[in-house]
Amino acid sequence: MNKKYINNYLKGLLVMLTVVLGSCESTELEILNDPNALNANQSDIDFFMNSIQYDVSRLVQGNPLTPFGLSEAGMEITRITHMFGPDYRSAYGGTAFDPQWQAVYSSALPDIRTMTPLAEEQGLYMHIGMAKVLEAYMMMDLVDFFGDVPYSEATQGVEFPNPNVDPGADIYAALESLLNEAITEFGKTETSKPTNDIYYGGDKSKWIKLANTLKLKMYVQSRLVDSSVKAKIDALIAQGNIITSADEDFVFQYSATDSNPDSRHPEFSANFDAGTGEYMSTSYMYDLVKRKNIEDPRWRYYIYRQSSTNTTDVNEQSCITQNRPIHYVPSDIWCNFSDEGFWGRVHGDGDGIPPDNGKRTTYGLYPVGGLFDNDSFISITGRNISTKGSGILPLMLSSYVDFMLAESALTMGTSGNARTYLESGIRKSISKVMNFSPENVDEAFVPSSAAIDNYVDTVLSIYDGAASDDEKLDVIIKEYFLALFGNGIEAYNTYRRTGKPSNLQSTKISAPGDFIRSFFYPQTFVSQNSNVGQKVDQSVQVFWDNNPAGFIK
């Protein structure tokens, strides 16, 4: 093992153990005591690559032991799933995001910094390109959720044991360059490809499309504060080398393995092993089933009803005897919207947990690998059902790209027709959902082509009838949200950027505090880094969010 490898690997280990937040001198000495203890597996570059790929899922979705990540938080505060609350300040504790922070700063970045020079020496350029793309994705997520975070001084534990934060705009600029570097790496001839490319199976052309798509995401995200992004988006559209079809989708595939280690979808293990662990959002279910007076073709794939009716027992659902909150507007759904078993909770309902475990509505087949709703109304407890947890984590889909392009065409005048992108996004989303694990679907309940066409035509009719571009944008973003089940990151970003959908449900309490414009820093960061203090509150806006204070709730 060469000296350069040992130095780089030890540096990575040091940062991993100090969580990029500094450490005591005794920890450094422990690490440096026995460098010869490093074994052959640790020198395998593919070992690093595997870990880096897995860290993306840890950041976004957590793991079966800690089934919480940025995506779930984003879905909860945007009403795609239920947020307990009862207010925004108490919804997420100080340590809620510690594992996600550590996935990036204690694992992914140190591994990337250690692996890259070794890969360069060996001509493993695809490894380097993949690592740069995944680094860009993860760091973009951290900026979007927390604002200014460590980057330029991160993973340099000896030189910067207490790394300062970088402005989010500076990090975005660095990530744009990083993605361009990744594309350059993919253009080189490597000595060998990664043994386990879990995203694209060694297809460099798809990695290049992902890199360009992440630039598109970055540009759309920054459109309120950067006038140059219109030309950049048009250039990407003209180039055409972005994600446009389902076979190019960026997804993390889980398996049915439930031990050593448990590699199932975290939401499957949390909701199917011992009974439902979460509540669905009543308002989101209403959007899927009732609001447009036509059923969304995806709803039986997204959710599963364990009961055919809603309860009349207050011990099972406290809201049935409570008055509708006086601050609710007419579009807000209170308690239940039907007696057909759509049993969830309203936004910020933090009441205690009653004995409704086998009755409340839960996750369905897509994307977590649960049950398809075929009106069977059985309790879902059990590991060996449906896909057994081999769901997917939808990170960036071709349908998402169409919705982003629809937004940019409408708001910035970029190339293409917003209405055309809207229709394409809806159809791609429905196709993605309906083609997920078709062997676990009851054909008697599969939406027909005519039903899909009727749904799309209904949405387009609403779009055509909108009186202004602002109303048209509302239609686009509402449909985007309905396509985002399983990905709360894009929902959270889009809501802060656009203020849409405009009719998201009010919280149960009338004064929930400021909406979370960025999350508090993880406690492990502020408690161990002397250069950083906690935010005053969660109303602090990220750099690309220049919308007025209080414009979303």
Tell me the per-residue pLDDT of 399-455, one tens digit each, with 9 for 90 and over.
999 999 999 999 999 999 999 999 999 999 999 999 999 999 999 999 999 999 999
Q: What is the DSSP letter of 541?
A: P
What is the domain-level CATH number for residue 124?
A: 1.25.40.390
Residue 294 three-state SS: coil
pLDDT score, position 9: 36
Instruction: Report whether the peptide linkage leading into residue 86 is cis, meaning its omega lies within 30 degrees of zero.
Output: yes
Instruction: Specify whether 427 is located in the same domain as 524.
Output: no
Domain presence at residue 250 = no
- 11-70, pLDDT tens digit by residue? 333 333 333 333 333 322 222 333 333 333 335 899 999 999 999 999 999 988 888 999
Domain holding 423, by residue range, is 392-498
Structure tokens at 287: 């959007």
Instruction: Specify whether 421 is located in the same domain as 524.
Output: no
Global pTM reads 0.92
How far apart are the C-alpha atoms of 270 and 65, rounded to whole Å?
Answer: 9
pLDDT score, position 366: 98
Instruction: Specify whether 419 is located in the same domain as 456.
Output: yes
Other beta carbons within 10 angstroms of residue 261's beta carbon come to 10
- Strands, DSSP E only, in 23-151? 149-150
- Work out the average pLDDT over 73-84: 97
Q: For the CA atoms of the chain, what is the radius of gyration?
A: 23
Instruction: Specify whether 486 is located in the same domain as 523.
Output: no
Question: How many domains does the chain fold into?
Answer: 2
Q: What angle do CA 191, 194, 177 make, to 5 degrees?
A: 85
Instruction: Specify whether 26 is located in the same domain as 80.
Output: yes
Assess whether pLDDT exceeds 70 at residue 110.
Answer: yes
Domain presence at residue 381 = no
Instruction: Specify whether 524 is located in the same domain as 426.
Output: no
CA–chain centroid gap for 335, Å, is: 27
Q: What spatial distance separates the first Cα and last Cα of the chain, rounded to whole Å?
A: 56
Domain presence at residue 28 = yes
Q: Work out whether strand 149-150 and strand 303-304 pair parallel, antiparallel, or are unpaired.
A: unpaired
Q: Which residues face 165 on adjacent strands?
A: 150
- 325-358, pLDDT tens digit by residue? 999 999 999 999 999 999 999 999 999 999 998 8
Instruction: Specify whether 457 is located in the same domain as 524.
Output: no
Domain presence at residue 493 = yes
Structure tokens at 356: 């409704």
How far apart are the C-alpha atoms of 37 and 73, rounded to whole Å?
Answer: 40
Q: Which residues face 280 on adjacent strands?
A: 81
Assess whether pLDDT exceeds 80 at residue 157.
Answer: no
Instruction: Specify whether 414 is located in the same domain as 523.
Output: no
Domain presence at residue 341 = no
Instruction: Specify whether 215 is located in the same domain as 99.
Output: yes
Instruction: Specify whether 472 is located in the same domain as 524.
Output: no
Domain presence at residue 270 = no
Kindly give, in sequence order, each residue whose CB lies less than 8 Å from that of residue 208, ignoring residues fewer than 6 positions away: 183, 186, 241
- 492-508, pLDDT tens digit by residue? 999 999 999 999 999 99
Domain presence at residue 186 = yes
Phi-psi region of 256 (alpha: psi -120 to 50; beta: other; left: phi over 0): alpha
Phi-psi region of 513 (alpha: psi -120 to 50; beta: other; left: phi over 0): left
Domain presence at residue 176 = yes
